[in-house]
A and B are shown apart, each in its own frame.
Chain A
Amino acid sequence: MSLLEIENLSLEIGDTPILKNIDLSIAPGEVMGLVGESGSGKSMTALAVMRLLPHDARADGRVTFDGIDILAAPEAAMCRLRGDDIGMVFQEPMTALNPVKTIGEQVAEGIRWHTGANRADAEARARAMLERVGLPERQFPLTRYPHELSGGQRQRVVIAIACALKPKLLIADEPTTALDVVLQAQILDLLRELVDENRMSLLLISHDLAVVAEMTDRVTIIRQGTVMEAGETARVLSRQEHPYTRQLAEASTHVPARARAPGRAAGAEPLLKVEGLTRDYPVRRASLFSPARTFRAVDGVSFALGGGQSMALVGRSGCGKSTLARMVLALDRPTSGSIRFLGEEIGARSADELRVARRNMQPVFQDPYGSFDPRQKVERLVAEPLHLLDGKPDGARRRELVAEALEQVGLAPSDMEKYPHEFSGGQRQRLAIARAIITRPKLIVADEPVSALDVSIRAQILDLFADLRDRLGVAYLFITHDLTVARAITETVMVMHEGRIVEAGPTETVLGNPQTEPAKALVAAAPDLQRALERRLVRSAG
Chain B
Amino acid sequence: MSLDPVFMPAPERHVLRKALENRSFLVGLVITALVAVTALVSFVWTPYDITRLSVANRMLSLSAEHPFGTDHMGRDILSMIMIGARNSIAVAIVAVGIGMGIGVPLGAWAAARGGWTDEVLMRVNDVVFAFPALLSAVMITAVFGPGAVNAIIAIGIFNVPVFARVARAGALSLWPREFILAARAAGKGKALITVEHILPNIASVLLVQGTIQFALAILAEAGLSYLGLGTQPPMPSWGRMLFDAQTRIAVAPHLALFPGLAIVITVLGLNLLGDGLRDVLDPRLRRQR
In the assembled complex, A465 has its CB within 8 A of some CB on chain B? no
Task: Decide if B188 touches A387 in the complex (CB within 8 Å).
Answer: yes
Binds B, one of A112-120, A206-214, A357-365: A357-365
Tally of A-B Cβ pairs under 8 angstroms: 65
In Å, the complex CA distance between A374 and B179 comes to 9
In Å, the complex CA distance between A435 and B10 comes to 22
Task: Decide if B185 touches A331 in the complex (CB within 8 Å).
Answer: yes
Task: Decide if B200 touches A363 in the complex (CB within 8 Å).
Answer: no
Task: Decide if B187 touches A355 in the complex (CB within 8 Å).
Answer: yes
Task: Decide if B10 touches A373 in the complex (CB within 8 Å).
Answer: no
Task: Decide if B186 touches A373 in the complex (CB within 8 Å).
Answer: no
In the assembled complex, A354 has its CB within 8 A of some CB on chain B? yes
Q: Which residues of A contact B188 (CB under 8 A)?
A: 384, 387
In the assembled complex, B177 has its CB within 8 A of some CB on chain A? yes
Task: Decide if A370 touches B177 in the complex (CB within 8 Å).
Answer: yes
- Per-position binary interface string of chain A over residues 366-389, scored 1 when its CB falls under 8 Å from any chain B CB and 0 otherwise: 110011111100000100110110
In Å, the complex CA distance between A191 and B179 comes to 38
In the assembled complex, B184 has its CB within 8 A of some CB on chain A? yes
For residue B176, give the distance in angstroms from its CB to the closest CB of chain A: 9
In Å, the complex CA distance between A359 and B183 comes to 12
In the assembled complex, B265 has its CB within 8 A of some CB on chain A? no
From B9, B184, B201, contact of A331 by CB (8 A): B184
In the assembled complex, B65 has its CB within 8 A of some CB on chain A? no
Q: Which residues of B contact A373 (CB under 8 A)?
A: 179, 183, 196-197, 200-201
Would you list which residues of chain A between 291 and 330 have a CB under 8 Å from chain B? 326, 329-330
Closest to B11 in A: A419
Task: Decide if B181 touches A351 in the complex (CB within 8 Å).
Answer: no
In Å, the complex CA distance between A113 and B189 comes to 56
In the assembled complex, A242 has its CB within 8 A of some CB on chain B? no
For residue B183, give the distance in angstroms from its CB to the closest CB of chain A: 6
Q: Which residues of A contact B196 (CB under 8 A)?
A: 373
For residue B15, give the distance in angstroms from its CB to the closest CB of chain A: 11
Task: Decide if B8 touches A385 in the complex (CB within 8 Å).
Answer: no
In the assembled complex, A264 has its CB within 8 A of some CB on chain B? no
Please judge, given known A-B contacts A365-B178, A366-B178, A367-B178, whether A374 and B185 are in contact too, CB under 8 Å. Answer: no
Q: Which residues of A contact B189 (CB under 8 A)?
A: 351
In the assembled complex, A421 has its CB within 8 A of some CB on chain B? yes
From A358, A371, A388, A422, contact of B179 by CB (8 A): A371
Q: Which residues of A contact B177 (CB under 8 A)?
A: 370
Q: Which residues of A contact B130 (CB under 8 A)?
A: none
Would you list which residues of chain B between 34 and 56 have a CB under 8 Å from chain A? none
Closest to A420 in B: B179
In the assembled complex, B251 has its CB within 8 A of some CB on chain A? no
Task: Decide if A385 touches B185 in the complex (CB within 8 Å).
Answer: yes
Interface centre among B8, B185, B197 (most CB of A within 10 A): B185
For residue B112, give the distance in angstroms from its CB to the closest CB of chain A: 13
Please judge, given known A-B contacts A365-B181, A366-B178, A372-B179, whether A351 and B9 are in contact too, CB under 8 Å. Answer: no
Would you list which residues of chain B between 192 and 235 have a CB under 8 Å from chain A? 196-197, 200-201
In Å, the complex CA distance between A322 and B37 comes to 56
In the assembled complex, B143 has its CB within 8 A of some CB on chain A? no
Task: Decide if A387 touches B186 in the complex (CB within 8 Å).
Answer: yes
Task: Decide if A331 touches B181 in the complex (CB within 8 Å).
Answer: yes
Q: Which residues of A contact B9 (CB under 8 A)?
A: 374-375
In Å, the complex CA distance between A362 and B10 comes to 28
Please judge, given known A-B contacts A373-B197, A374-B9, A421-B10, whether A362 and B185 are in contact too, CB under 8 Å. Answer: yes
Interface centre among B181, B182, B184 (most CB of A within 10 A): B182
- Per-position binary interface string of chain A over residues 52-71, scored 1 when its CB falls under 8 Å from any chain B CB and 0 otherwise: 00000000000000000000
Interface centre among B178, B184, B197 (most CB of A within 10 A): B178
Please judge, given known A-B contacts A373-B197, A374-B8, A374-B201, whether A354 and B179 are in contact too, CB under 8 Å. Answer: no
Q: Which residues of B contact A329 (CB under 8 A)?
A: 181, 185
From B10, B186, B197, contact of A388 by CB (8 A): B186
For residue B148, give the distance in angstroms from its CB to the closest CB of chain A: 39
Q: Which residues of B contact A385 (CB under 8 A)?
A: 185-187
Q: Which residues of B contact A330 (CB under 8 A)?
A: 185
Q: Which residues of B contact A326 (CB under 8 A)?
A: 181
For residue A369, give the distance in angstroms from its CB to the closest CB of chain B: 8
Task: Decide if A363 touches B187 in the complex (CB within 8 Å).
Answer: no
Please judge, given known A-B contacts A373-B197, A375-B201, whether A363 and B185 are in contact too, CB under 8 Å. Answer: yes
Q: Which residues of B contact A422 (CB under 8 A)?
A: 11
In Å, the complex CA distance between A381 and B182 comes to 10
Would you list which residues of chain A between 418 and 448 have a CB under 8 Å from chain B? 419, 421-422, 432, 435
Q: Which residues of A contact B8 (CB under 8 A)?
A: 374, 421
- Per-position binary interface string of chain A over residues 97-111, scored 1 when its CB falls under 8 Å from any chain B CB and 0 otherwise: 000000000000000
- Per-position binary interface string of chain B over residues 6-42, scored 1 when its CB falls under 8 Å from any chain A CB and 0 otherwise: 0011110000000000000000000000000000000
Task: Decide if A351 touches B200 in the complex (CB within 8 Å).
Answer: no
From A351, A366, A371, A432, contact of B187 by CB (8 A): A351
Closest to B183 in A: A384
Task: Decide if A435 touches B201 in the complex (CB within 8 Å).
Answer: no
Task: Decide if B187 touches A435 in the complex (CB within 8 Å).
Answer: no
Closest to B8 in A: A374
Task: Decide if A371 touches B185 in the complex (CB within 8 Å).
Answer: no
Task: Decide if A363 touches B179 in the complex (CB within 8 Å).
Answer: no
Q: Which residues of B contact A367 (CB under 8 A)?
A: 178
Interface centre among B11, B179, B183, B184 (most CB of A within 10 A): B179
In Å, the complex CA distance between A388 and B179 comes to 16
In Å, the complex CA distance between A372 and B183 comes to 9
- Per-position binary interface string of chain A over residues 334-366, scored 1 when its CB falls under 8 Å from any chain B CB and 0 otherwise: 000000000000000001001100110111011
In Å, the complex CA distance between A351 and B193 comes to 13
Task: Decide if B197 touches A358 in the complex (CB within 8 Å).
Answer: no
In Å, the complex CA distance between A326 and B185 comes to 10
Task: Decide if A388 touches B187 in the complex (CB within 8 Å).
Answer: yes
For residue B198, give the distance in angstroms from its CB to the closest CB of chain A: 10
In Å, the complex CA distance between A331 and B193 comes to 14
Q: Which residues of A contact B187 (CB under 8 A)?
A: 351, 354-355, 358-359, 385, 387-388
- Per-position binary interface string of chain B over residues 142-179, scored 1 when its CB falls under 8 Å from any chain A CB and 0 otherwise: 00000000000000000000000000000000000111
Closest to A362 in B: B185
Task: Decide if A371 touches B178 in the complex (CB within 8 Å).
Answer: yes
Q: Which residues of B contact A331 (CB under 8 A)?
A: 181, 184-185
10 more A-B residue pairs beyond the given contacts A372-B179, A375-B201, with a C-beta to C-beta distance below 8 A: A326-B181, A329-B185, A363-B185, A365-B181, A366-B178, A372-B182, A384-B183, A385-B185, A385-B186, A387-B188
Enumerate chain A interface residues (CB-CB to B < 8 A): 326, 329-331, 351, 354-355, 358-359, 361-363, 365-367, 370-375, 381, 384-385, 387-388, 419, 421-422, 432, 435
6 tightest A-B CB contacts, nearest first: A365-B178, A385-B186, A370-B178, A384-B186, A388-B187, A371-B178
Contacts A/B (CB < 8 Å), 23 sampled:
A326-B181, A330-B185, A354-B187, A355-B187, A358-B185, A358-B187, A361-B185, A363-B182, A365-B178, A365-B181, A366-B178, A367-B178, A371-B179, A371-B182, A372-B179, A372-B182, A373-B179, A373-B201, A381-B179, A384-B186, A385-B186, A387-B188, A422-B11
